[in-house]
Amino acid sequence: MKIDMSYGSGGKQTSNLINDIFLKNFDNEILNKLEDAAVLDDIKGKIAYTTDSFVVTPLFFNGGNIGSIAVCGTVNDLSMMGAIPKYLTAGFIIEEGADIETIDEIARTMGLIAKEANVKIVAGDTKVIEGKGGIYINTSGIGEIAQNGVSISNCQKGDVIILSGNLGDHHAAIMSKRMEIENNIMSDCAPLTSIVNNLIENNINIHCMRDITRGGLATVLNEVASNSLCGVEIYEELLPISNEVRGFCNILGLDPLYMANEGKMIAVVPQNKADIALEAVRKSKYGKNAQIIGKIVNGKSVNMITALKGNRIIDILYGEGLPRIC
């Protein structure tokens, strides 16, 4: 069955779409009331509040689909502020011609990941527009701040930088699908709630957290340097990168430092807590390959000590990381 313009009419077909797909997959007592707005009565203290839109092609890829990143993206942005994610909203913009089964599968994935991340999708919206079967999702979310002061501006000289796992997996999985290259590389799309919970439970005084999405680790570290007015030093030998992704990058001329992930983060923590923090991340779901990759130093740029012990300045990403032609 395909979506046509009548599904956006607000009438019977719209209501079928809501009942058969969204209520079924997102199922919770707040959404089920179908009020004009969700009423939330158990929020304590300060809240973190964010939104993100998702336009990925292809919609399905090895290790996930647009639904998984729509939930993980917003959940992770909340987590990075030291918040416990609580509630999400989801807005769908669907082009006519999209398969209803596809939307159902995307919503099913969203429901599963929301459950894993312990968040409820409490409000939603659907619009149908002319087009060729594309699907776009916006999610917003709120979370309760569990640790104050976590900020991109809060890194201190001497802090260590923990990276939660392998670089580049999501980017490589998407590129592989687009280029019809067969391999076993899976997107790393995942909620980072377990890692953050473990850090907080271990009483780590987290100075800064950032998830590594578009622009890659290089861009995140440059944001750290410019906002915290500090230098960053990392060590090439300590960067976790899978052999498959490394090989894929070599063939296409990509640099893992600039590739996107959807389930990786850095945590910047005081040096005297480094070992406990690393252990806490490694014990978490999605954190077993975590590494201390560097530290905060004097200066204002991001510098990498290469495997050959040379110095390389790491700048932010300019333009797209397109494959080379020669």
Q: Which residues bind another protein (CB under 8 A)?
A: 178-180, 253, 255, 300-301, 304-313, 315, 318-320, 322-326
Q: Which is nearer to another protein, 21 or 167 (CB)?
A: 167
Alpha-carbon distance 72 to 274, whole Å?
Answer: 26
Closest among 153, 161, 87, 100 to 126, alpha carbons compared: 100
Alpha-carbon distance 60 to 67, whole Å?
Answer: 9
Q: Which is nearer to another protein, 36 or 320 (CB)?
A: 320
Q: Which is nearer to another protein, 46 or 300 (CB)?
A: 300
Q: Give me the least distance between CB of 176 and another protein, in Å please.
A: 11
Q: Give me the least distance between CB of 145 and another protein, in Å please.
A: 33
Percent helix, percent strand, percent coil in the chain, to nearest 5: 35, 25, 40
Q: Give me the least distance between CB of 98 and another protein, in Å please.
A: 21
Alpha-carbon distance 99 to 54, whole Å?
Answer: 18
Q: Give me the least distance between CB of 150 and another protein, in Å please.
A: 27
Q: Is the dihedral of CA 68, 71, 76, 77 positive or negative?
A: positive
Q: Give me the least distance between CB of 304 and another protein, in Å please.
A: 8
Q: Which is nearer to another protein, 158 or 253 (CB)?
A: 253
Contact between 126 and 17 (Cβ < 8 Å) = yes
Alpha-carbon distance 203 to 3, whole Å?
Answer: 50
* 3-class secondary structure, 46: coil
Calculate Rg over the CA atoms of the chain.
21
* 3-class secondary structure, 168: coil
Alpha-carbon distance 285 to 283, whole Å?
Answer: 7
Q: Give me the least distance between CB of 143 and another protein, in Å please.
A: 34
Q: Which is nearer to another protein, 22 or 61 (CB)?
A: 61
Q: Give me the least distance between CB of 260 and another protein, in Å please.
A: 17
Q: Which is nearer to another protein, 172 or 290 (CB)?
A: 172
Q: Which is nearer to another protein, 107 or 245 (CB)?
A: 245
Query: How far is it between the farthest Cα atoms of the chain?
Result: 66
Q: Is the dihedral of CA 50, 169, 202, 233 positive or negative?
A: negative
